[in-house]
Amino acid sequence: MSESDQDQLPRDCAERDLPLVSVIIASYNHAPYIEASIRSVMGQTYANFELLVVDDGSSDDSVERITRLQAEYGFDFQAQQNSGLSRTLNAAIARSKGSLIVPFGSDDIMRPQRLAVQVDYMQGKPEVGICSANIDIIDASGLPLPDKEQKQRHLPFRRLNFDDHFLDLKPGPQAATLMFRREALEAVGGFNPDIRLEDVYICLSILKAGYVIDILPDVLADYRKHESNTYKHLRFMVENMQKTYALFSDHPAYADVRLKYMISMFLKASSRDKALARELLSELPVRKWNAKVIRGIWRLLFS
């Protein structure tokens, strides 16, 4: 055995002792961002991971960009007709090999130590179905937003059970930092193709199955804020959150949770989508109107 082989052997053995992490990037029309996302994964300090990239029917030049990166790094890449994020994730998870699964946004950026920190934390904690962490927010060009525009604060460690998340008793996990234990995903049958807002559904389902979510204080990803962020599409958000909540309608607080969300979205829509705001207002019983509803009505009438 050569000296270089002897040097390589301990490192390879050490990597085999670490859990394999499957990082899955499902990309749709994110050509301006996909390269930074992929390079941030390939630049991780944690060595034992696989990257699976799926282009879900993009109409921009995403496929060409990803193909060039695949030639450079050798990751698994498939291009397909548009199937939706949940179906795409389920299919990629089924052919992945890792015991830990990281779906990652094709417009976000991983900090170099992200996988190492989360893998280390997940070791020996079988009750933790999901590990999350804090984020920073960047703009479309990748620059940090000014402090006054950073809506996500750096919060301390917290552990969430189902009620903590469903009743919004504690700040929830950040989608850009989710790491799943494979058996937790399998316990709930994976992502639901009928729910297009996949992260809230899967987190609640895994909590309902008896796992917990632990959220670390570390900043482990940069979340990119741009014009096509999902949260900006209010009707999409309302429709999918209502579907999600309905799946947990056996909870005694279901009606109150749904009402609280509807009031919150009515207030947002009152200045951004007046047609949606009027629809939401028609579903709010007058006896449940509060200061937020009155403020939204004022915006509807006078803004």
Which residue bears the tokens 């029309």? 29
pLDDT of residue 146: 80
Distance from C-alpha of 57 to C-alpha of 225, rounded to nearest angstrom: 22
- Tell me the pLDDT tens digit for each residue of 240-293: 999 999 999 999 999 999 999 999 999 999 999 999 999 999 999 999 999 999
H helices then E strands: how many in the chain? 12, 9
Which residue bears the tokens 């070791």? 123
Distance from C-alpha of 165 to C-alpha of 187, rounded to nearest angstrom: 19
pLDDT of residue 2: 43
Statement: residue 212 has pLDDT above 70 = yes
| CA distances, 210 to each of 93, 157, 197 (Å) | 21, 20, 22
pLDDT of residue 51: 98
pTM comes to 0.90
Least confident of 2-11, 73-82, 152-161, 221-230: 2-11
pLDDT of residue 226: 73
The string over 262-292, giving b where at least 16 C-beta atoms fall within 10 Å of a residue's C-beta and e elsewhere, is: bbebbbbbbeebeebbeebbeebeeeeeeee
Distance from C-alpha of 169 to C-alpha of 252, rounded to nearest angstrom: 15
Which residue bears the tokens 């996500």? 152
Distance from C-alpha of 260 to C-alpha of 58, rounded to nearest angstrom: 36
Amino acid 280 reads: L
Average pLDDT over residues 168-188: 97
Average pLDDT over residues 139-167: 86
Domain ranges of the chain: 3-224, 233-302
Confidence at 151, pLDDT banded by 50, 70, 90: low
Are 175 and 89 within 8 A, CB to CB?
Answer: no
Statement: residue 124 has pLDDT above 90 = yes
CATH number of 3-224: 3.90.550.10
Question: What's the chain's average pLDDT?
Answer: 91
- Tell me the pLDDT tens digit for each residue of 26-78: 999 999 999 999 999 999 999 999 999 999 999 999 999 999 999 999 999 99
pLDDT-above-90 percentage for the chain: 82
